[in-house]
Amino acid sequence: MLSRALALVLLCASLGAQGADPSQRTLRVLAWPGYADAETVRAFEQRHRVRVDLTLVSSDEVMWEKINGNAGADFDVFAVNTAELQRYIDHGLVQPVDPLAIPNTRRQLPRFRSDAIPGLTRGGKTYGIPYTYAEMGLIYDRSQFPRAPDSIATLWDPHLQGKVLAYNGGGHNFSLAAMMLGRPSPFHIDDAGWPLAVERLIALRRNVLAFYTQPEESVRLFRSHRAALLFANYGMQQLQLLKAAGVDVGYSIPKEGTLAWLDCWAITRGAREAALAAAWIDTLLDKEASALLVARQGLANTISESAPHGAENRLHWLEPMEDTARRDKLWARIVSGERLEKVLAP
């Protein structure tokens, strides 16, 4: 049986071959792994007689580069978390979305209506349609933990040196460091907090076996190196992938709480197919696509309740950060192995 990753590669190759007809309409989609199931893509293409050109990203930084690089003209629709959406609005890279043009928004649970979520609207206009969400908990190998880890500090446990996997991204890792240091908000680091946060992340780098970007990559590393602990940037999606691979793992929400994201679909300012992009969003919110998101990816959808995996009051829903560029720059230096004084140098 073909793996999901191989099937996606073959699908993309097939779609590329179909694109030989220059008269065929194409919808250009930028999304995270698992967000556009192959079955859903095929059904959409057949229904609308178009081709879907799907590009996958591995981090918020990569998504920003791709959308901002050509003023949003290279894609029609993309999936972005609500905190990140703000800078796309600020830079005029997205256009308003009319929820009335997306009938399936009426299926969504009341708490996912755009007017109920900070950051999705501006000036009375909607810029994002909620799609999926997850907590970034801790995944652990049951054979190496007598009981579930209950603290973020476990990522720094010296007894686990070389057995921890973490996500390769400055934004989320600085938020983790801020939580570890007990800062009031993981999304706002003050001048006095930067050296402490950098010091914590240098210590994390020394403890971590490897940093991953894609969910499938984390599964491969976890299995091949018999890792003990994984910071799950993709949440339950990674848990499901590991269980499907035959790994006996558990999932926990730290006592300090954990980061949680809500991703939405947005239409670029430079979209060539805005109406088709709205149809795409509507399709991803229908009953069939929403069910596949849960069953095949382990992700939650916005039209049905998902089983809670942690107390709501322990979730830190992503918010805009104090300085995304600074976090990314410092993180790049940390990963490269720089010492504290060099990381903090101007």
Predicted confidence (pLDDT) per residue in 242-257, tens digit: 999 999 999 999 998 8
pTM for the whole structure? 0.76
CATH number of the domain encompassing residue 248: 3.40.190.10
Tell whether 307 is covered by a domain: no
Domain total in the chain: 2
Q: Which residues, other chains included, contact 337 with Cβ-Cβ below 8 Å and sequence gap of 6+?
A: 205
Reduce the DSSP state of residue 196 to 3 states and report it: helix
**What integer pLDDT is reported at residue 314 of this predicted model?**
76
Place of tokens 């979520």: 117
Residue 2 confidence (pLDDT) above 80:
no
| Cα–Cα separations (whole angstroms), residue 331 to 60, 191, 337 | 14, 16, 10
Q: Does residue 306 lie in a domain region?
A: no
3-state secondary structure of 118: coil
Q: Do 129 and 12 sit in the same domain of this protein? A: yes
* 121 against 142, higher pLDDT: 142
**Structural contact between residues 278 and 101, judged by C-beta atoms closer than 8 angstroms:** yes
Render pLDDT for 149-163 as a digit per residue (tens, 0 to 9): 999 999 999 999 999
Please tell me whether residues 129 and 147 are part of one structural domain. no
At 313 the pLDDT is 62
Same domain, 119 and 144: no
As given in the structure block, the two tokens for residue 305 are: 């309740």
Mean pLDDT of the chain: 89
Residue 228 tokens, joined:
């003990």
Domain co-membership, 178 together with 100: no
Note whether 84 and 229 are same-domain residues.
Answer: no
- Domain with 274 in it: 4-133+261-301
3-class secondary structure for 27-67?
EEEEECCCCCCHHHHHHHHHHHCCEEEEEECCCHHHHHHHH
- State the average pLDDT over residues 71-80: 94
C-alpha–C-alpha distance, residues 215 and 58, integer Å: 9
Task: Give pLDDT, residue 119.
Answer: 79
Per-residue pLDDT band at 312 (split at 50, 70, 90) = low
Residues 129 and 271 in one domain: yes
Residue 167 lies in a domain: yes
